[in-house]
Chains A and B, each alone.
Chain A
Amino acid sequence: AQSVTQLGSHVSVSEGALVLLRCNYSSSVPPYLFWYVQYPNQGLQLLLKYTSAATLVKGINGFEAEFKKSETSFHLTKPSAHMSDAAEYFCAVSLGFQKLVFGTGTRLLVSP
């Protein structure tokens, strides 16, 4: 069965520091992978998605993620954190028919 595991329910960084949010997937077929962001009291919105076209995927707000098949990973990074990046981030894998399985989420805290 396809699933994703997000390591770390909370990640704290200082403003200007590197952001690294980890996601590992389990899939018997080449997966489609997604990162979504949820700001407080809002619904989720798509940051980026991997659909096998390129292993390095660039998303909105300066985020990017690299698909590494050998490590079954799809980690999310941003070179320099901004206060506005504080949110909860979800990794997800597609099950087909547009169905997604979400990870448990990682809350990013950014301190001045």
Chain B
Amino acid sequence: NAGVTQTPKFRVLKTGQSMTLLCAQDMNHEYMYWYRQDPGMGLRLIHYSVGEGTTAKGEVPDGYNVSRLKKQNFLLGLESAAPSQTSVYFCASSPLAGVETQYFGPGTRLLVL
């Protein structure tokens, strides 16, 4: 049981390049989330999904797209990276019922030059 895994762990992009971050969970959780963490700002929700085939915008969705084609995977895409998207990205998942814990992946550190 690996929990929540994220690929890659670290990436450097040039402005304008695109990339996809992959999140996978093996706990059969319904909900999945993408956050970004910036110094002094805590975690901010980018997009989330309440089930396979669904996505919704969070607090800071601009410049990002997501897809949840399979229940266990949640992809975060940057179509044209900008320096403002330099951050640490965390994926999390949560089961369906009740007030449950969010389980976090180890993070992806992204540097946009």
Residues in A lying within 8 Å of B, measured CB to CB: 9, 32, 41-46, 49, 51, 90, 94, 97-105
Contact = CB atoms under 8 A, between A and B. Distances in A.
Given A43-B4, A43-B90, A99-B48, A105 B102 contact: no
B93 to A, nearest CB: 10
Interface of B: 4, 31, 33, 40-45, 48, 50, 58, 90, 92, 94, 99-102, 104-107
25 contacts: A9-B40, A41-B107, A43-B90, A43-B104, A43-B105, A43-B107, A44-B102, A45-B104, A51-B99, A90-B42, A97-B50, A98-B31, A98-B99, A99-B33, A99-B45, A99-B48, A99-B58, A100-B45, A100-B102, A101-B45, A102-B44, A103-B42, A104-B40, A104-B41, A104-B42
Contacts of A103: 42
Contacts of B50: 97
Most B CB within 10 A of own CB, among A42, A51, A97, A98: A98
B106 A42 contact: yes
Nearest to A6: B42
Contacts of B99: 32, 49, 51, 94, 98
Nearest to A52: B99
A51 B101 CA distance: 11
Contact of A98 (B41, B44, B102, B104): B102
Contacts of B40: 9, 104
Contacts of A102: 42-44
Interface hub of B90, B92, B99, B101 (most chain A Cβ within 10 A): B99
Contacts of B33: 99
A100 B43 CA distance: 9
Contacts of B41: 104
Those 6 A-B pairs whose CB atoms lie nearest each other, nearest first: A43-B104, A102-B42, A104-B42, A102-B43, A44-B104, A46-B101
A11 B57 CA distance: 34
Given A43-B92, A43-B106, A99-B58, 10 more contacts: A42-B107, A44-B90, A49-B101, A51-B99, A98-B31, A98-B94, A100-B102, A102-B43, A104-B40, A104-B41
